[in-house]
Amino acid sequence: MANPTGFNVADGSGYRFHADRVIELDALNPQIASRMVSAFNQWKRYNHARQMLMKSEMERIAAVERLSPGVFEIITKALGA
């Protein structure tokens, strides 16, 4: 979240990297993962191409089995917004 240039790379690799870390960390520390996943909350402020890349990663996070309640709540609210 403190590196918007790396996070918002046009090819979506920053979003994929961040989503991978959220998924990985959710199994170890759901509270930190919940804070990290909030980086996707403002996804509708970006251009259409980036919105689609971010949405794809959010859907991938939401589809994880045994996702913590905190991460699930934040990601489903962001997708529904």
Cα–Cα distances in angstroms (integers) from residue 21 to residues 4, 48, 65, 80, in the given order: 16, 24, 15, 22
pLDDT at residue 46, as a whole number: 93
pLDDT digits (tens, 9 = 90+) for 5-26: 678 888 999 999 999 999 999 9
**Segments of 1-81 assigned E as strands:** none
pLDDT digits (tens, 9 = 90+) for 25-38: 999 999 999 999 99
pLDDT at residue 3, as a whole number: 62
Q: Residue 27: helix, strand or coil by DSSP? A: helix
Question: How does DSSP classify residue 3?
Answer: -
pLDDT at residue 8, as a whole number: 85
Cα(16)–Cα(58) distance, integer angstroms: 9
- The arithmetic mean of pLDDT across residues 39-45, rounded, is 92
**Domain residue limits, the chain:** 4-71
